[in-house]
Structures are given as C-alpha cells and as structure tokens.
Amino acid sequence: MSDFPALAERVLAQARAAGADDAEVFLHESRNFSTRVRQGTTETVTEATTRSLSLRVFVDQRMARASASDLNAETLDGLVRRAVERARLANPDPCAGLPEEAAEAVSADGLGLYDPMLETLAPADKIALARETEAIGLRLDPRIRNSGGAGFSAHCGQVWLANTRGFCGSYRASTCSLGLYLLGQEDRSQAQVSDYWFSAARQRAKLESPEAVARRTVERVQRHFGARKVATQEVPVVFEPLLAGELLADLFGAVSGEAIYLRRSFLVDALGEKVAAAGVTIIDDGLLPGGLGTRPFDREGVGSQRTVVVESGVLRNYLCGSYAARKLGRKSTGNGSGNGESPTNFFLAAGEKPPEEIIRSVERGLYVTRLIGQGVNLVTGDYSRGAFGLWIESGAFAYPVHEVTIGGTLRGMLEGVEAVGTDLDFRDPFAAPTIRIATMTVAGT
Amino acid sequence: MSARELFERQHGLDSRQLGRVLSEALGGGGDFADVYLEYRQSSSLHLEESLLKESSEAVALGAGVRVVAGEQTGYAYTNELSLEKLLECARTAASIAAGAARSGSIHLAPRAVPARYPAGRPAHQSAMSEKTEFLRAADAAARRADSRVREVSANWSDEWRQILIANSDGELVADSQPLFAFGVSVVIEADGNPSGKSLGASRQAGWKNLGLRAGLEAFSGEKAEGLAREAVAQAATLLTAADAPAGELPIVLAAGASGVLLHESVGHPLEADANRKRLSVFSGRLGERVATELCTVVDDATLPGLRGSLNVDGEGTIPRAATVLIEQGVLRAYLQDRLSARLMKMAPTGNGRRAGYTSIPIPRMTNTYLAAGESDPEDIIRSVERGLYCKAFSGGQVEPAVGKFTFSVHEAYLIENGRITRPVKGATLIGSGVDILENIVAVGHDLELDRGAWACGKEGQSAPVGVGTPTVKITRMTVGGRR
C-alpha cells in the first residue's frame, strides 16, 4: 500500500499522544491463491487479498499489543487508545522496549525473496500445475489407486514496519508450493499406504517440476508396500533430510531465548558446552539468498544475520529477539517475532558422507521416512514419536516398517550423530541433510 | 448488538444486498452459494515471572463468498466489507462453475438458532483487572504449593465471534460465539541443583488448561488456583518418574482427557470428506461392526457451553441432536458438512466448521466422546497385571488413510498386579484405529467430558473441540518408552 508511511506516522503519533513512550506498527498485505485438484477435478480454488496491521505500545516499560484486519480509521483510533490504557495496567519490566539495534532498514535487494511472475500467472496456469502433477502421479504405477489431491498455492505480499525510534522498512516477498498426496495398495487384499511430497520456493522458476514432484511422491508411496511392525530394540536410526529437518524444528524451540530465560529447555545454562557430536554444526541464516526463511530484518526491525548456534558440537549461541537478549544479557540475533523468537533458515550444515554411504554403514537399524504426533518435551529433552520407515539389514533396505515409535533424548540424539550427509535440502525454513544417530529405542511388538 | 444488526448498521449489508451477492455468485451456474460475514474480537493476557507482561486485543473483520458446483468449490474472501468487494468476491468464486445463471432472485429468511452458550457475563465486556486476578491467583498458588517451583506462566484468552451466514437456499443465520481459555504451566527444579546445570531429569514441566464456550461466570480465582496446584503436582510427580516402558502393553485410559484417543483413532477417520473420497480406513463400512459392542462413540455439538459446542456450524447448519457415529460397535454415521452430505446423499450433521472467513467449511468434530459403559473403574485397573495407566495428554495425530494414529501421554503410571504403582515419564503411544476399537475390552461407568482447551488441526484450520471418555481398557498398544 503506497500510503503506509502516512498511516504509520498517524498511528505512531496517536500512540504518542495517548501517552506511549514508544510504539511500533507492522502491516502485512498479501495476495493469496490456492487450489487442489483431485482425480482430475478442480476441487477448490481460493483467492483473496488481505491486510492486517499490528502494533505494540510501551508506557513506562510496560507493554501492550493490538492487531486488526479492519484498517478503518475509527477502529484503529480505538485500538491505539485502548492499547495505551492496557499498557498502564501491566507490570513495569526493565527489559521491555523496542530494540536498540534498529537503525537503518536493511535492503532486501539480492535476497531473491520476490517473484513478480507469481502475481501475473493466470489461475488456469496455476491449476494446470496441480492437475499435471496429479495426472503424472496417477499413471506411474497401477498400484497407486487413489489420490488425496495435488495442491498449488502462491502468496505474494509486502510487509512494512515502522517505530518511534525512526525505523521504517519494507520488503516484498513471495512463496509458492506444489504438493501431492497419493495412496497405494499392492493388491486389493493388502492394507492401504499413503505418502506425500512437495516443493516450495520463493520463485516460480525454482519450483520443482510436476514430473519431479509426482515421481518422488510415487516412490515414497511404493516403498511402504508390505510394511510391518518390528520387535522392540535399540538400534541406529537414520533420518532422511525432511525428517532430520523436523528434528531441527524441535531443537529451535530449545535454543530460542524465551525458552532459555523461562528455563523451559534442556539446553539451559549450556553455552560453551559440548552438546552434540563433533560433526554437528547448526546455523540460523536470515540472509541465505532465496531461502524460505530469509528476510532483511526481523519483526522488530533488527537486521538479519548468520548465527552459528552449534559449532562442531559446541553450543555457541541462543537465538534472541531484543527482549530475550536483554533478559539473558546478550544481543539480538535478528530472530525477534515481536512475541518471542522465530527462525529464519535454521539448518544443520551438510557433512561429507553421501546418503547412500550412510545407509550402507548400518548393519541393522531403522531409516525414518515419516514421523507423527507430539511427544517432544523440550524441558527435559525427552523424545518419543510415532514413526514409519524402512528397516535396514546389512547396509540395505530390507522391508518397510510401520506402527512403531522412536525414543531417546534430544541431548543423547545430538551427541549420537555419527554421520552427516552431503544432501542438505532446503524445502522448509528448517532443513537438514541425512543423519545417522548411534542408537535409539525403536518400540514395536 | 446482534450479528445481523452489526453487519447491517455498520457495513450497510442487509439481507437484500446479501441476496444480490448470492445471485451474482450463481451467475455462472453452480449448485449452491453462501456468504459468511465475521467480526471477531479477541483479547489475551500473559503473566510470567510473576509479572503481567502483556495484554493484547485483536479485531478480525472479513467475509467470504463460496460457490459449490458438484464436487468443486470456489472461494474468495476479503477484509473490506462493502457491497462492491463482496460482489467482486462472488464473481471470483463463481469462476469454478460453468453453466447457466440461476434465475430468480434469492429471498433470505432469518432462522432462529438455539442458545447453547451460557454467557452470563461476556468475557469480552469484562474488565481486564478481573481476568488479571486469575493469572495472579494461579501464580501465587503455584509458588505456594511447592518451594521448588522455578517458573510459572499463566495465560488468559477470550474471543467473541459474531457471524452471519446467508445462502442460496434462502437461509439467513446469525450467531454470537463466546470462547475463553485459561492455561497455567510451571517449571520445577529439583533440590540440591541450585546451578540448574543441564541434567534434564532435574527439571520438569507441568501444565493444565481449561476452555469453555461460556462467560466469566464459568471461571474464578479458585479455579485458577486449583489448576495451578494440579500443574505443580504433575511436574513434581514427573520429577520422580522413571523412563516409560517400550513395547506392547495393556493400556488403561483415565476418564476425561484420554478422549484424545477417540478423537484421533475414530473421529478423524469418520469425517465425511475422507470417506467420500475413500481416503479413510472406514470408507464404505456404514452398518458394519467396526468395534467391540462396548463402544458407542458420539459427536455432540448440542451440549451446553463446552469448547466444541455450537448453535450453528460454519455454514449455517443447526445441529439438532448428538450424532451417534458408532453404536454398540456398529458404524452408523459420518461427520457431515453440506458438500459431502449432498454428494453422499445423506443428511448434514452440523459438522461443517471453518476457522474463520479465510477458510472454507470442512467436516470437523465438535465434542466427541465414548459413551459410558458398565464397568467399575477400580475393577478395570485391578484386571491388569502389568500395564500403563494414562492420565494427562499433550495431543495426538492420525493418518486417516492408513488408520495409524499416535497420542502422546504427558503423565502416566505403571500398573503392577492390579494396582497403580510408580509414575513414568511421558511417551507416545501408537496404534491402528481399526485394531484399537477391536481391543477395547472394558468401558467404565465414569464418563467425563474434559474441560481442557483442546484445539484440533486439519488442512491448516484450527478448531476448538471437546473430548471425553470413561475409564477404558485396551488389551494392547505399542508404548514408545525407552525401557
């Protein structure tokens, strides 16, 4: 919206006039498209343009927040006034406030966040991508007997952020994704199996082709045929990249500043300690060109950076917004979400072992292809999740496995990372290559 | 102000104009169209480190227009509530359909809705100070309960959602939906560990929450204190807990929150969309025996004031009675929205829910529970030689097409020789929905509908739901412990 500076100026001035020492206003405008095609029929098409505004006000080190999708001047006036009134009812907190670091808005140039082509791509072309993906998937193998549908979505938008300390920044960003969910049955007497695959990118041109997404989905379904349970035992566990990425999402929760000052993490008081095997280096990189988690600045206006969280097994940094940084006596790492911390591109750095070699190195163990359920306690690090996968015997896949759980502790898993693959795959803001963990409890029969 | 008055007076959208939008929506053909208008006010409070650190208020205003043609749905939504914007949304949504315009104008007639939310004192109109006291009471009670309590966080949230739904069948339905939730979580650190050096087992968390579709009269400082003490007791118990066992074991579910198991193993796989598309293990099995005779599973939006209770669903259907999904082991019904009901030639059940104006309605659960049986809960425990007694849960997940589901236990105990003995740490349990129903061998007479603030996720939409169950015995499930 071209009038954002004027709107921001007005809202910030109102907050000041109502008695706020400081204020911050954030606006997000987005054009959204999503479709799902199933069995060749366009099941849903959703289109919209939306806006939402949110603000924070500070009065004598007391904070309040408000948000609205209704940008009517009268609505906003009331929201600002009431936010200042509510802030006065909070307890003073010496750590509350806008970030000191926010000065100049960082440019988004060169970060590859926005693809104007996604704005002009016709709905019919978007639907065609999903249709083609599903059609290829359905004809690759007669044992693929049903489809949950193929989906394509695109979001193009712009964010603006301004505060009373003089920060005013804006950038455009887009994302698109193409995914497929298929079901298979080896023969009519066998149990149904299912799996999915997807590609996601900032740019249309970076999205994998319908053919690639369909083939990968079919391969993933095929490998579940004839799945069985295994006996309960302790074995090495190999996570394929998508699943190792889920592990990174769990870890993020344990290194975020808020979890640390609230002592809700098994990594409290562990800076400088060896918490993982030497091959483990974990990075949060907000400036990775084209990354799904890339942004020039965070939700508080602090410029993005590359932060090494774990360096060759040693915990070096917690990820902080400005509030947690003050609580912990550290500096913001550009991970402020305005309400705790959010990741940028949070990933396990690639290692030197080709994934095939990692699988070959396992005498007997489980290769995990799907995890379901919660079961991660970040306070203690206890880990227990439902798993689907492939059993490895003598370095090769023997048969698929279902209805088992894998259990351990996150600390034990990190320390037990024996091999890190070369196949780091950025399909999500949380990313990792194939990893092998020395031992976990696989619970089955 | 009623929802109808709100949209009419403040946005100039009366029934005549909504009729025009619906006519425009069916201008290119289609079987059905609706307009969903929503104004949602929500607020929340957050206390941690004994400080009220923040309060927030949010206003969401928007509308969506849907056109249904056969199996196809076109949807468009906007934040700007003007006739022009709604007509534009109608034209966008209409592009899904191809055919002749439906002739004749649409006359909308208001329908009366029941009153199932006891909102004596609406939370959104109540003073912030009163809600703040709940948080302070919880904080103080938790710290009083155990000197080892290191951190306490307490949260309050409430919302008031006003919706108006108009559809091409001429129905005009309004509802004002209250909802509140309170939650408290504590971290407790063992004595003799002042540095808090990261040993994991020396620190534990406990939490409790409560959510209802009701007003402030349904909550109090005493309730907040009680929940805080329960959270502390849970954390203290877990501090002494051993690792959970690994492998197959008999399971006893405590009455109440264990209903999560039914929600995942049976509820999701019985949603009509999955069954219509043959994406569920229960597809095509109506009338068949799918569970032991002890199992009667019900979804009931008509219960007053629970998280999943509804006067009207997200597409204007008024649930009139409980839906019996499984009756003494026999599959009787699916959870229907209008689209699936029409395609399956069945009646809608009032389960077409949507997270808000940005979402299309899909079949969802409301309050889902296993009906009471006849067993004495004590006898059920006594009948187990070695097993796991599951008391508190952090959630679950299911893969409806293959029927595998998990539920994660936060607080559990070993049963040894018919007695509950030692606490064990949280673990995930995994099973197959079809097998579980065949393995329910005892159902207690102590049905309890849980008051926890459960939220169910499906296709990116979150919905408040209720769960419940009596004490239940399952012959075996795989427990994901480490011992």
DSSP symbols for B90-109? HHHHHTT--SPPPPS----E
- Write down the number of H helices and E strands in chain B: 10, 24
Contact B279 A82 (CB under 8 A): no
Q: Which of A322, A368, A372 is most worth mutating to test chain B (most B CB atoms within 10 A of its CB)?
A: A372
Mean pLDDT (chain A) is: 95
Q: Which two tokens stand for residue B413?
A: 């105990």
Q: What is the ipTM of this complex?
A: 0.93
Q: What residues in A contact B236, CB-CB < 8 Å?
A: none
Contact B79 A69 (CB under 8 A): yes
Q: Which of A69, A198, A327 is most worth mutating to test chain B (most B CB atoms within 10 A of its CB)?
A: A69
Contact A407 B481 (CB under 8 A): yes
| CA B38 to each of CA A372, B6, B59, B322: distance values in angstroms, whole numbers, following the listed order | 34, 10, 10, 26
B288 touches chain A (CB under 8 A): no
| pLDDT given at position B16 | 94
Q: List all residues of chain A from 9 to 68 with a beta carbon under 8 Å from chain B.
A: 38, 41-52, 63-68
Q: Which of B7, B47, B52, B56 is most worth mutating to test chain A (most A CB atoms within 10 A of its CB)?
A: B56
| pLDDT given at position B104 | 74
Q: Which of A405, A411, A413, A414 is most worth mutating to test chain B (most B CB atoms within 10 A of its CB)?
A: A405
Contact B248 A44 (CB under 8 A): no
Q: What are residue B149's DSSP bridge partners? A: B188
For residue range A179-215, what is the model confidence (pLDDT) as tens digits?
999 999 998 888 889 999 999 999 999 999 999 999 9
- Residue B342 has a CB neighbour count (10 Å cut-off) of 17
Length of chain B: 483
Q: Shortest Cα distance from B321 to chain A (angstroms)? A: 30
Domains and CATH numbers, chain A: 4-222 (3.30.2290.10), 233-246+350-443 (no CATH), 254-348 (no CATH)
Q: Which of B52, B59, B91 is most worth mutating to test chain A (most A CB atoms within 10 A of its CB)?
A: B59
Q: Chain B residue with minimal CA distance to A95?
A: B53
B195 touches chain A (CB under 8 A): yes
Measured between CB atoms, which of B77, B195, B358 is closest to A269?
Answer: B195
Q: Return d(Cα B349, Cα B342) in angstroms, integer.
A: 12
- Residue B171 has a CB neighbour count (10 Å cut-off) of 18
Q: Shortest Cα distance from B304 to chain A (angstroms)? A: 30
Task: For Cα atoms B94, A181, B357, give the angle at the middle one, nearest 5 degrees.
Answer: 40
For residue range A279-331, what is the model confidence (pLDDT) as tens digits?
999 999 999 999 999 999 999 999 999 999 999 999 999 999 999 999 999 99
Q: What residues in B contact A82, CB-CB < 8 Å?
A: 57
Contact B196 A377 (CB under 8 A): no
In sequence order, the 6+-apart residues with CB closer than 8 A to the CB of A298 are A286, A304, A321, A332, A334, A335, A336, A337, A342
A130 touches chain B (CB under 8 A): no
A374 touches chain B (CB under 8 A): yes
A443 touches chain B (CB under 8 A): yes
Q: Shortest Cα distance from A354 to chain B (angstroms)? A: 30
Measured between CB atoms, which of B187, B395, B478 is closest to A404?
Answer: B478
For residue range A232-287, what is the model confidence (pLDDT) as tens digits?
999 999 999 999 999 999 999 999 999 999 999 999 999 999 999 999 999 999 99
Contact B428 A384 (CB under 8 A): yes
Q: Return d(Cα B241, Cα B149) in angstroms, integer.
A: 17
Q: What residues in B contact A79, CB-CB < 8 Å?
A: 57, 59
Measured between CB atoms, which of B60, B129, B204 is closest to A379?
Answer: B204
DSSP 8-state secondary structure symbol assigned to residue B193: -
Q: Return d(Cα B283, Cα A75) in angstroms, integer.
A: 48
Question: A–B: how many Cβ contacts below 8 A?
Answer: 255
* Residue B79 dihedral angles phi and psi, to the nearest 5°: -90, -10
Q: Could you tell me the strand order of the sheet in which A314-315 lies?
A: A314-315, A306-311, A282-285, A346-348, A430-431
B99 touches chain A (CB under 8 A): no
Each residue's pLDDT, cut to its tens digit, for chain B (483 residues) gives 888 999 999 999 999 999 999 999 999 999 999 999 999 999 999 999 999 999 999 999 999 999 999 999 999 999 999 999 999 999 999 998 887 777 678 899 999 999 999 878 999 999 999 999 999 999 999 999 999 999 999 999 999 999 999 999 999 999 999 999 999 999 999 865 444 444 446 899 999 999 999 999 999 999 999 999 999 999 999 999 999 999 999 999 999 999 998 999 999 999 999 999 999 999 999 999 999 999 999 999 999 999 999 999 999 999 999 999 999 999 999 999 999 999 999 999 999 999 999 999 999 999 999 999 999 999 999 999 999 999 988 888 888 888 888 989 999 999 999 999 999 998 899 998 888 999 999 999 999 999 999 999 999 999 999 999 999 999 999 999 988
Domains and CATH numbers, chain B: 3-239 (3.30.2290.10), 246-480 (no CATH)
Q: Return d(Cα B336, Cα B325) in angstroms, integer.
A: 11
Q: Shortest Cα distance from A11 to chain B (angstroms)? A: 16
* Residue B383 dihedral angles phi and psi, to the nearest 5°: -80, -5
Q: Shortest Cα distance from B426 to chain A (angstroms)? A: 7
What's at B471, amino acid-wise? T
Enclosing H/E stretch for B432: strand B427-432
Q: Which two tokens stand for residue B374?
A: 């006849």
The strand pair at A435-443 and A233-239 is best described as antiparallel
